Amino acid sequence: MNLLDCDLPAADMPPGFLHRWVSVREALGGEHFGCSLYEFDSREQLWPYHYHWANEEWLVVVAGTPTLRDPGGERELAVGDVVAFPEGEAGAHTLTNRTAETARVAIFSTRRHGSVTYPDSDKLGAGPPHERHYFRRGDAVDYWDGEQ
């Protein structure tokens, strides 16, 4: 697989978060760490600002000039830049494409499917990425206590 020229199918996302992606891990048969390749056009944000619990991520810019928002503010990234996102609030992040060119990034992860916090919308996501359930603070949630 070549990160510069492989095909990326469109993800089913709402306007403003439109992107294309492919699982590098699945394509290469990996099991113990994750890697996904994302591509997003001008004026799109890759996902809402968030951070993970029980999961660490690393980003490598493959093409374009995405703008990273993290707890330190915003900054443009360049091809070849590598950024680490530790678990918890210190690893909060999102990417926006404010240029006319397409941006492409690879995200590596430890593949532990902990919860995700979205501080801007006061939401929590639980479960694997493509099966995640979302809750707002204060939502009524039934917890199973081992007895029915």
Q: Is residue 44 part of a domain?
A: yes
Residues 6+ apart with CB under 8 A from 84: 56, 57, 58, 59, 91
In a domain? residue 15: no
Q: Would you give the distance in Å from CA 26 to the centre of its chain?
A: 17
CA-CA-CA-CA torsion sign (106, 110, 113, 114): negative
Domain count of the chain?
1
- Exposure b/e, 5-35, CB count within 10 A at least 16 = b: eeeeeebebeeeebbbbbebbeeeeeeeebb
pTM: 0.85
CA distance 50 to 94: 7
Confidence of residue 143 (pLDDT cuts 50, 70, 90): very low
3-state helix, strand, coil split of the chain in percent (to 5) is 5, 40, 55
Owning domain of residue 68: 20-126
Give a yes or no: residue 144 inside a domain.
Answer: no
CB of 86 closer than 8 Å to CB of 109: no
Which DSSP letter does residue 50 get?
Answer: B
Task: Give 26-66 pLDDT, tens digit per residue.
Answer: 888 888 788 999 999 999 999 899 999 888 999 999 999 99
CATH code, domain carrying 45: 2.60.120.10
For residue 87, is it within any domain?
yes
Per-residue three-class SS string for 74-119: EEECCCCCEEEECCCHHHCEEEECCCCCCEEEEEEECCCCCCEEEC
On whether the CB atoms of residues 108 and 82 are closer than 8 A, the answer is no
Q: What percent of the chain has pLDDT over 70?
A: 86
